[in-house]
Amino acid sequence: MSTADAPERALPTLEGAPPRILLIQAPYYAEVVGGMAAGVARVVAEAGGTLAKVDVAGAFELPAALRLSLSQPYDGVVLLGCVVKGETDHYDHICREACSGVMAITAETGAAVGFGLLTVHTLEQAEARSRDDRHNKGAEAAIACLMQVALRRTWGAA
């Protein structure tokens, strides 16, 4: 499926208090992550929620920051970052460990997480996924997070 074929997802219906969302971002590629963060902010605002932000050094730090955030009073967490493939295998290691770390924490805890780590071959691919349009991966991650918040509230997990 290409970016052009990506499905459009609607905001979920959230029962209860406005959602409190934490955005943890690794702004190594500041313009790309900033574009995705704007998508997150737009979606959270449309849902009537509040958004707090914190930066980490890079994608590798996202899982640890997620783990630390679970003791804070947020309904959900959105993680953003970007890793662009270079000439070494560093890309493979960072992508694999960041993704598996986030998945392990999410599966273990049931935390409501939206995962917006771009793993791309070129900066142009990242820029295309961070624009202010329906393909913004930050907005998609925020919607995924809010869907998990709604599910947790429905099933009484929050």
Place 157 in a pLDDT band, splitting at 50, 70 and 90: low
Strand residues in 121-158 grouped as ranges (E): none
- Given the residues 90, 93, 121, 135, select the one marked as catalytic: 90
- pLDDT tens-place string over residues 106-142: 999 999 999 999 999 999 999 999 999 999 999 999 9
Verify whether residue 90 is a known catalytic residue. Answer: yes
Helix, strand, or coil (residue 39): helix
Domains of the chain and any CATH numbers: 24-154 (3.40.50.960)
The answer to whether 138 and 35 have CB atoms below 8 angstroms apart is yes
Spatial strand order of the sheet with 76-84 comes to 50-55, 20-25, 76-84, 113-120
- pLDDT tens-place string over residues 63-115: 999 999 999 999 999 999 999 999 889 999 999 999 999 999 999 999 999 99
Name residue 104's amino acid.
Answer: A
